[in-house]
Amino acid sequence: MFSLLARSVTLKRLASQYGMTPTGFARRFIAGETINEAIDAARVLQGRGMHVALDYLGESVNTIKAATTASREYVQLIETIVASGIERNISLKLTQLGMTIDKATCVDNLRRILEPAARHQFFVRIDMESSPYTQLTLDVFETVWSLDFRNVGIALQSALLRTEQDIRRMNELGARVRLVKGAYKEPASVAFQLKADVDAAYTRQMRLLLDHGVYPAIATHDEEIIAETRSYAAERSIGPDRFEFQMLYGIRRDLQASLVAARYRMRVYIPFGKEWFPYFMRRLGERPANIGFVLRALLGEKTG
């Protein structure tokens, strides 16, 4: 149903008209359409003791020109972040950099970003997209790793059957992993279908990363898994400086604040940019209650 909604032209039109106004409904999850709005959001969060990662939204670019433009925009973004003085941490999607065209284009574009990023001590996280891209994403990652880029890490999804093996490989390389449950609907041939199985895999993989990984990011809003991570780390004397929690902008802000109060590292992923619709639809799809929130806001905006 959500993929259908995500393709709905009417919904997209309504969303772009009303979603990103100063009080628009999409602002709960997206910092804004411009880098300056994202930087303002980052400053507020840093003021509350949180770490940040900026994500310039965009995906599924199909021409070399558009992919090159996206990589140039990322380079500008790096300069703007440096000038702003906020934390130097960004996240990106490889389909934005030409992965759907070919691997070489994508590697070239990624290198164009990683070079200035390394010069300015940025950390760059590669998001994981849907399963047709898993292997390709890992191949591109290993290619830049073999070129000695070390300011880069990857996201892995516990929903996928293959992930435990991928984690072992990343641990062997010494690469930093962000563990997520996975935001895409995947077939049974490649992914667990039951939430309980995804959660159990996440917990196993969290342990594997805490025991053998390099500064893993436990990226979830799941209170039980967060509690389990805290007790597993405490039992093994793994200090709160050896890993971090990550959550999405606007989601479980109470839990974000309570982890900071308990002196854990908490990084908030801040999405921004004009291409916010697919990201927004994934957030709605995760939680039906969000739809009521959006509809109420939409009606309020249209009549108000």
**Which amino acids are annotated catalytic?**
127, 178
Q: What are phi and psi of 256, to 5 degrees?
A: -60, -50
Using CB under 6 A as the binding rule, whether residue 276 contacts ligand FAD is answered as no
**78, 90, 177, 219: which one contacts ligand FAD (CB under 6 A)?**
219
- Which span sits near ligand FAD by CB under 6 A: 12-20, 72-80, 135-143, 216-224? 216-224
Q: What are phi and psi of 290, to 5 degrees?
A: -65, -25
Using the minimum distance from each CB to ligand FAD, give the nearer residue, 103 or 282: 282
Which string of x and - marks every residue 149-178 that binds ligand FAD (by CB under 6 A)? ------x-x---------------------
Question: 263: left (phi > 0), else alpha (psi -120 to 50), else beta?
Answer: left
Amino acid making up residue 273: G
Scan residues 107-146 and list those touching ligand FAD (CB under 6 A).
127-128
Using the minimum distance from each CB to ligand FAD, give the nearer residue, 111 or 252: 252
Q: Report the C-alpha gap between 102 and 82 in whole angstroms.
A: 31
**142, 222, 228, 301: which one contacts ligand FAD (CB under 6 A)?**
222
Q: Report in angstroms how near the CB of residue 190 gets to ligand FAD at its nearest.
A: 13
- DSSP conformational letter for 128: P
Which string of x and - marks every residue 234-263 that binds ligand FAD (by CB under 6 A)? ------------xxx--xx-----------
- Between CA 33 and CA 68, with CA 14 as vertex, the angle to 5 degrees is 40
- DSSP conformational letter for 33: S
Contact 38, 272 (CB under 8 A): yes
Amino acid making up residue 196: A
Query: What crossing angle do the helices spanning 289-303 and 277-286 adopt, rounded to 10°?
Result: 130
**94, 99, 124, 180: which one contacts ligand FAD (CB under 6 A)?**
180
- Residues within the interface to ligand FAD (CB under 6 A): 127-128, 155, 157, 180-184, 219-222, 246-248, 251-252, 269, 283, 286-287, 290
